Amino acid sequence: MFEASRAADRYLAVVDIGSNSVRLVVFSGRERVPDSIFNEKIMCGLGAEVGKTGRMADDAVAQAISTLRRFRALCEQMGVSEIHCVATAAVRDAENGPDFVAQVKDECDLDIQVIPGEEEGRLAAMGVLSGEPTARGIVGDLGGGSLELSRVENGQVLDTVSLPFGPLRLMSQFGTKRNKIIRHLRELFATIPWLRECEGQALYLVGGAWRNIIKLMMREKSNPLPILHGFRSSKTELVNYCHRISCLRPEDIPFGSYLPQRRRDVLPVAAIVLSEVLSGMKAKAAVVSSYGLREGLIFDALESDIRAMDPFLFSCRVLADERCRFAEHADLIYDWTRPLFSVRVQEAARTIRLHRALSLLGDIAWRGHPDFRAEKAVEAVLHGNFVGVSHRDRAYLAVALNQSYGAPVDSDHIAHILPLLSINDIMEARLMGAALRLAQRLSGGAVAALTVSRLRVSKSKLFLGIPKAYQDIANDVVMKRIEALAQLMGKKATIEFIPAD
């Protein structure tokens, strides 16, 4: 269950030439969740004039060429053996797009693949599915010059449409006239027959402008976990926020000064588009994805058995192999804790997944100073670069690991994220954490004690069963930990001696 292999150490680069920015990402290789080794973007604005003049402006082209020369040099210095250079709406639609492609080949020695609109949408959707395999609804990828919408369900991309507008193009056509932009969007959305089929599902947000809107909203509401990926907002909350942003001048947007000027200038129009997509599909919620086209390119090329791996558990396995002493015992620890939990059917898949992750990560902070191990473990799961996990899930993992290291649940490093959880979540997470704490003390990291012992729950008692021949491992320290576990369950702790098998 927990097996996962790392791909060969062969760096892979994706150069993404968009309407707003030109970005280089160097990945660790072709694997289920590749690490980002290097990430840099330059705001070139290639699409700023396309809607008005039909061409990319000369100064934007010059800046893009300079940027691509730098990216090519960086890849050579880093020993990158494979470079994928893709271009989207600006280059695709501009009259001077073919000349730009030829110039890049001549001056930067990069072969640009100009991606058709629907293929761009499919790859963005594949990127979302890479990070969230259970995604169900619409993936919306808003670039400066186009909007791609894709319907996803059961790990598949079912429908895709590319619409020839983004904030830059809309602004070049309509300026900032809200009513004209809204009317234009509604006319286009009415031509997409499958949009309403996703009523009550989620809109998955891809693209810098939409992510920046969410970033500002999270800042304004002091969200307890400032991580974009996996952030979820109700449709009502987000539509109301977007309406407010769309009515403001860019310089008046709260916290907007933290963004580059070019990013801030497009936010009012990007907010209109977001609001109209949410309303057009009658979404239930919006979910942010940090994965998109670039990750989709890699995911799309993987073998089917690798694509089928759970991305979150894959990352936990890698992290456990790097930082934990007893990662190979994860399956045993998971099985040993099962008698404690009676899982509701609708929560079973989530609980099993989180408990498997905790079985891997339960020893993650062992190298830390004893006084700060709980804080170190909490930080690792709250702020780790994970995908396939929600804010609520991160908080659950943090509470469990905090408990496993013996820290109070109201400690400063954990208390601020508790509002993300229900009281049932908190108690279940603490129970799993206390079970990990008992398992580690009982076994000392060796498999023998967990192999021969067992937990059993009755109406009023929690039993730790140990063969008579192993009775010496159950000292006062072990008794204190089983008592702490039993207390969370509202039961009395008892050690019983069981017959040897």
Structural domain of 246: 118-294
The continuous run of DSSP H or E covering 299 comes out as helix 293-300
User: What is the DSSP code string of 383-428?
Assistant: HS---S--HHHHHHHHHHHHHHTT--TT-HHHHTTGGGS-HHHHHH
Q: How many CA atoms lie within 13 A of 434 on its CB side?
A: 22
Residue with the larger pLDDT of the pair 110 and 498: 110
> Whose CA is closest to 65, among 13, 22, 111?
22
320/370 same-domain check: yes
Percent of the chain with pLDDT over 70: 97
- 1 inside domain: no
* Strand order across the 461-467 sheet: 454-457, 461-467, 492-498
The continuous run of DSSP H or E covering 306 comes out as helix 304-307
Q: CA-CA distance, 54 to 148, in Å (whole number)?
A: 20
Per-residue confidence (pLDDT) for residue 250, from 0 to 100: 94
Per-residue pLDDT tens for 341-395? 975 545 688 999 999 999 999 999 989 898 999 999 999 999 999 999 999 999 9
- 305 inside domain: no
215/321 same-domain check: no
Last residue of some domain: 114, 146, 178? 114
Query: What distance, in Å, lies between the first and last C-alpha atoms of the chain?
Result: 26
C-alpha separations of 467 from 210, 435, 449 in Å? 59, 19, 10
Per-residue confidence (pLDDT) for residue 5, from 0 to 100: 40
- 485 inside domain: yes
Phi/psi at 313 (nearest 5 deg)?
-70, -30
- 413 inside domain: yes
Confidence of residue 8 (pLDDT cuts 50, 70, 90): very low
Per-residue confidence (pLDDT) for residue 246, from 0 to 100: 95
Confidence of residue 145 (pLDDT cuts 50, 70, 90): confident
pTM for the full predicted model: 0.90
349/476 same-domain check: yes
Percent of the chain with pLDDT over 90: 81
141/256 same-domain check: yes
139/245 same-domain check: yes
Q: CA-CA distance, 198 to 196, in Å (whole number)?
A: 5
What integer is the mean pLDDT of 31-41? 94
CB atoms under 10 Å from CB of 305, counted, come to 8
Per-residue pLDDT tens for 282-334? 999 999 999 999 999 999 999 999 999 999 999 999 999 998 887 888 999 99
272/321 same-domain check: no
- 302 inside domain: no
Query: Facing residues of 149 across strands?
Result: 140, 161
218/341 same-domain check: no
CATH code for position 331: 1.10.3210.10
Residues 6+ apart with CB under 8 A from 161: 118, 121, 148, 149, 150, 192
- 389 inside domain: yes
Confidence of residue 1 (pLDDT cuts 50, 70, 90): very low
CB atoms under 10 Å from CB of 243, counted, come to 13
Per-residue confidence (pLDDT) for residue 168, from 0 to 100: 86
- 278 inside domain: yes
Last residue of some domain: 228, 261, 294? 294
Per-residue confidence (pLDDT) for residue 346, from 0 to 100: 52
Q: What angle do CA 310, 315, 317 make, to 5 degrees?
A: 95
128/237 same-domain check: yes
Per-residue confidence (pLDDT) for residue 7, from 0 to 100: 39
Last residue of some domain: 114, 138, 163? 114
276/134 same-domain check: yes
In sign, the C-alpha dihedral spanning 342, 344, 345, 350 is negative
Contact call for residues 435 and 340 (beta carbons, < 8 A): yes
465/340 same-domain check: yes
Confidence of residue 158 (pLDDT cuts 50, 70, 90): very high
- 300 inside domain: no
Q: CA-CA distance, 191 to 406, in Å (whole number)?
A: 58
Q: Is the pLDDT of residue 172 over 90?
A: no
CATH code for position 21: 3.30.420.40
Confidence of residue 474 (pLDDT cuts 50, 70, 90): confident
Contact call for residues 395 and 421 (beta carbons, < 8 A): yes
DSSP state of 7: P
Per-residue confidence (pLDDT) for residue 6, from 0 to 100: 39
What integer is the mean pLDDT of 477-482? 92
C-alpha separations of 107 from 24, 65, 67, 93, 111 in Å? 17, 8, 11, 22, 11
341/483 same-domain check: yes
DSSP state of 201: S
Q: Is the pLDDT of residue 419 over 80?
A: yes
CATH code for position 212: 3.30.420.150
Q: CA-CA distance, 454 to 440, in Å (whole number)?
A: 14
Per-residue confidence (pLDDT) for residue 3, from 0 to 100: 43
Per-residue confidence (pLDDT) for residue 500, from 0 to 100: 65
What residue spans of 79-220 are helical by DSSP H?
Answer: 89-93, 97-108, 117-131, 167-174, 178-189, 208-220
Query: Facing residues of 25 across strands?
Result: 14, 39
DSSP state of 230: T
85/233 same-domain check: no
Alpha-carbon dihedral of residues 430, 433, 434, 437, nearest 10 degrees?
A: -160
Average pLDDT across the chain, whole number = 92
What integer is the mean pLDDT of 36-53? 91
Contact call for residues 148 and 160 (beta carbons, < 8 A): yes
What integer is the mean pLDDT of 469-492? 90
Q: What's the total number of domains in the chain?
A: 3
